[in-house]
Amino acid sequence: MKYVDGKRFRRAVVAAAQHVLACQERLNRINVFPVADGDTGTNMAMTLRAVADRAIDMSDRTLASMSASLAESALLGARGNSGAILAQFFQGLAVSFRGKNRVNTTNLVDSMVVAVSHAEQAVLKPVEGTILTVMRDWSEHLKHKRQSISGLDQIMSEGLAAASLALSRTPKQLKVLASAGVVDAGAQGFVNMLEGIVRLIEVGQLDWGANADETELVQTLIDEPNPDQQFRYCTECVVSGTGISLTQIRSEVDALGDSLIVAGSSELIRIHIHSDDPEAVYEIARKFGAVKLTKADDMVAQQQNNFEQKKTPAILTDSSCDVPSDFLIQHRVQVVPVRVSFGSRDYLDRLTITSKEVYRLMATQKYQPKTSQPSPGEFIKAYRLANEHHDQGLVLTISSALSGTYQAGQTAAKHLPDFETRVFDTRSAAPGHGLLLMLAAEFIEAGNDLDEVVRKLTFARAHTTVFASLETVDYAVRGGRVPKIQGLVASLIGRVPILKVDHTGKIRRVAMVNPGETADRKLQKLIRKQVGKKDILRFIVSHANAEQRANRLLSYIAEEFGVVDVPVLDVSPTLGAHVGPGTAAVGVMAYSKAEQPW
pLDDT for residue 583 is more than 80: yes
- Average confidence (pLDDT) over 345-349: 82
Alpha-carbon span 86 to 75, nearest angstrom:
9
| Selected residue with higher pLDDT from 36 and 218 | 36
Q: What local confidence, expressed as pLDDT, does residue 314 receive?
A: 95
231-306: CATH homologous superfamily? YebC, transcriptional regulation domain (3.30.70.980)
Res 552: pLDDT: 96
| Distance from C-alpha of 477 to C-alpha of 187, rounded to nearest angstrom | 48
* 8 A C-beta contact, residue 423 and residue 342: no
CB 237 within 8 A of CB 282: yes
> Nearest 5°: phi and psi at 549?
-65, -40
| pLDDT for the residue numbered 479 | 54
The pLDDT of residue 367 is 75
pLDDT in tens, 69-85: 999 999 999 999 999 99
Report pTM: 0.75
- Every domain of the chain with CATH number 1.25.40.340 lies at 1-210
Least confident span in 54-63, 182-191, 557-566: 54-63
Domain 464-591 has CATH 3.20.20.70: no
| Three-state SS letters, 70-135 | HHHHHHHHCCHHHHHHHHHHHHHHHHHHCCCCEEEHHHHHHHHHHHHHHHHHHECCCCCCCHHHHH
Rounded to an integer, the average pLDDT of 46-54 is: 90
- The average pLDDT across 155-171 equals 96
Residues 205-247 have pLDDT tens digits of 655 555 554 444 433 344 444 555 589 999 999 999 999 999 9
Contact by Cβ (8 Å): 62, 103: no
The predicted pLDDT at position 555 comes to: 97
Q: Could you tell me if 428 and 464 are in contact, meaning their C-beta atoms sit under 8 angstroms apart?
A: yes
pLDDT for position 175: 94
Range picked from 29-43, 121-135, 194-208, 219-233 for highest mean pLDDT: 121-135
pLDDT cut 90: percent of the chain above it: 67
**What mean pLDDT value characterizes the chain?**
89
Query: What is the arithmetic mean of pLDDT over 8-22?
Result: 91
**Mean pLDDT across 38-58:** 89
C-alpha–C-alpha distance, residues 118 and 139, integer Å: 12
Task: Write the class of the CATH domain 307-457.
Answer: alpha beta
Is-contact 269 75, C-beta < 8 A?
Answer: yes
User: How would residue 200 be classed by pLDDT, with cut points 50, 70 and 90?
Assistant: very high
Architecture of the domain made up of 1-210: Alpha Horseshoe (1.25)
User: What is the band of 289 on the pLDDT scale with cuts at 50, 70, 90?
Assistant: very high
Task: Name the more confident of 185 and 355.
Answer: 185
Q: Exposed, middle or buried: residue 3 (CB in 10 Å: 0-12, 13-18, 19+)?
A: middle
Q: Residue type at 108?
A: L
How are the residues of the chain apportioned to helix, strand and coil, as percentages rounded to the nearest 5? 50, 20, 30
The stretch 305-329 carries a mean pLDDT of 84
Return residue ranges of the chain for CATH 3.30.70.980.
231-306
Start and end residues for every CATH 3.30.1180.10 domain found in the chain: 464-591
The pLDDT assigned to 170 comes to: 97
CATH 3.40.50.10170 positions along the chain are 307-457
What H or E segment, with its residue span, contains residue 308? Answer: helix 299-308
Cα dist from 454 to 193, 417, 522, whole Å: 37, 19, 34
The C-alpha atoms of residue 95 and residue 111 are separated, in whole angstroms, by: 9
Instruction: Answer yes or no: is pLDDT of 525 > 60.
Output: yes
The 10s digit of each residue's pLDDT in 248-282 is: 999 999 999 999 999 999 999 999 999 999 999 99
For 314, how many CA atoms within 13 A lie in the half-sphere containing its CB? 25
Whole-number Cα distances in Å, 261 to 31, 117, 175, 235, 322: 18, 14, 22, 11, 33
211-225, 421-435, 511-525: range with highest mean pLDDT: 421-435
